[in-house]
Amino acid sequence: MSIAVPLHELSIAEASAALRAGEISSRMLTENALQRIFGLDPAISAFVLVTADRALADAEKADAAFAAGIDRGPMQGIPYAMKDIYDTAGIRTTGHSNLLRDNVPATDSAVQEKLAAGGGVLLGKVGTFEFAIGGPSFDLPFPPARNPWNTDHFTGGSSSGSAAAVAAGMVRMAMGSDTGGSIRGPAAYCGTVGLKPTYGRVSRRGVFPLAYSLDHCGPLAWSVEDAALTMQVIGGYDPLDPASAKLPVPDFTEKLNRDLSGLRIGYTRKFYIENPFLTAEATAALDAAAQQMAALGAVVDEVDMPPFEQFDACCRVIMFSEAYAIHETDLKVRPHAYGRYGYQRLISGAVLSAADYVQAQRLRRELTAFVNDNLLSRHDALLAPNALSTAAPFSDFGPDASRWGGMLTGPFNVTGNPALALPIGFGANGLPLSAQIVGRPFDEPTVLQIGSAYEAAVGVTKIRPSMPQAAKAA
């Protein structure tokens, strides 16, 4: 393999092949990544902590393992970053909050354990909304991440730093979490791939919770293949996570590079077509994506969903009830330690009753049964909207917590199905547009197959944002 492109342009698969062929070293990849971070991040604010010494030490270990003929898998020697709610032993984990500003965990989260055991190179911690809910805020210990496509615009949340770091080419993969869309929303607004695996597929042990029954852990990456390779390392049963599914880990790459012949995809067009936040360019991009999937061999037909408002209310009642239960003591004892947005969102759970929560969980079962027993019994996957417009500017956010519209991600936290955020084009303002592919429970390989086939045909993920600082950092 000839290294004919800048190192940061190599995918995980390409970098792994070059590492194993001896054409590059992990130290080279790591030094290149650190150079890009130091050159680009002052304008992006994706990282809240760069662990340069740790990264170089990890790289040396990976190179030594390669030299000794030891192969620990696809992430060996590959630099990555962790959302700052994942515990990292001996490395500060703050939740982007003053409440945990000096928190240094003694142990790693389960995902960090797996990435380290797989020979990955930890570059540092990337920003989030406060406790994965309060943002984009300017009254926290670190500034909010900015969108690399236009730094006047926000990234979506809460895996804001993860999306910004990947989009800017500082890392190939950064871990995120998703409770109501916190992987897929930032992936949509920053033009990256983002995978919310099936609930229970990836352990959440050692990840600060937002809502126990909705939280998912998954990767944001530059390509579908990179997401699949990451899943091969981080997926699997964890007896110390009560929600972890005791199922074998599939080959997440098995169905990549296939066409879509024989697949049936349900297009949920009616689910969003009357949404007031929908833009004409998002409609056109989603329709074009459906047509492209049909051209790749799939049977694509429109399907009906229950009203979005039912999913949305269900998700929010469960999320805010569970989040308030987690934060109740701190909200009462030291409310001023929270940022304004974080406090306002979390305190809303105080007005919800046990009856509200029970009714939401009852509705959740009905909605989940409809998606799985009705739609996905007749279709291999669903094509659904992700964001209905491009990312808003920071100027749209006032002093009080607002709910930005046009995100249709929460329904699949309610159901727990795997969902892949997939770039599908750009708005007239040059900012990304996105869709999501939703699959049957624990059928991530088919979701990734569809995403990979579309990605190869359209090539949107080969386009990176143009940043003035990039020339100095390359």
Q: Is-catalytic flag, 182?
A: yes
- What's phi and psi for 50, nearest 5 deg? -105, 120
Q: Is-catalytic flag, 462?
A: no
In the set 11, 16, 26, 83, the catalytic residue is 83
What does the buried/exposed string (b/e) look like for 58-96 if buried means 16 or more CB atoms within 10 Å of the residue's CB?
bbebbbebbeeeeebbbbbbbbbbbbbbbbbeebbbbbb
C-alpha to C-alpha distance for 337 and 98, rounded to whole angstroms = 6
In the block, tokens 């969003």 appear at: 272
In the set 26, 45, 97, 158, the catalytic residue is 158
Strand order in the sheet with 79-83: 47-50, 121-126, 79-83, 173-178, 216-221, 193-196, 419-426, 432-439, 381-385, 264-267, 299-302
* Beta-carbon count within 10 A of 428 CB: 9
C-alpha to C-alpha distance for 210 and 199, rounded to whole angstroms = 14
In the set 11, 182, 244, 452, the catalytic residue is 182
440 neighbors 376 (Cβ within 8 angstroms): yes
Q: Do the bridges between strand 173-178 and strand 216-221 make them parallel or antiparallel, or are there none, so unpaired?
A: antiparallel
* Beta-carbon count within 10 A of 334 CB: 11
What does the buried/exposed string (b/e) look like for 24-39 if buried means 16 or more CB atoms within 10 Å of the residue's CB?
bbbbbbbbbbbbbbbb
Q: In this structure, what DSSP letter does residue 206 have?
A: T
C-alpha to C-alpha distance for 301 and 283, rounded to whole angstroms = 16
159 neighbors 220 (Cβ within 8 angstroms): yes
Q: In this structure, what DSSP letter does residue 237 have?
A: -
State which amino acid sits at residue 460.
V
Single out the residue of 10, 370, 283, 315 nearest to residue 180, CA to CA: 315
Q: In whole angstroms, how far apart are CA 447 and each of 169, 257, 262, 302, 436?
A: 24, 12, 14, 18, 9
Q: Is-catalytic flag, 2?
A: no
With H, G, I as helix, E, B as strand and everything else as coil, classify residue 48: strand
My answer on whether omega of the bond before 136 falls inside 30° of 0, hence cis, is: yes
Q: Active-site residue numbers?
A: 83, 158, 182
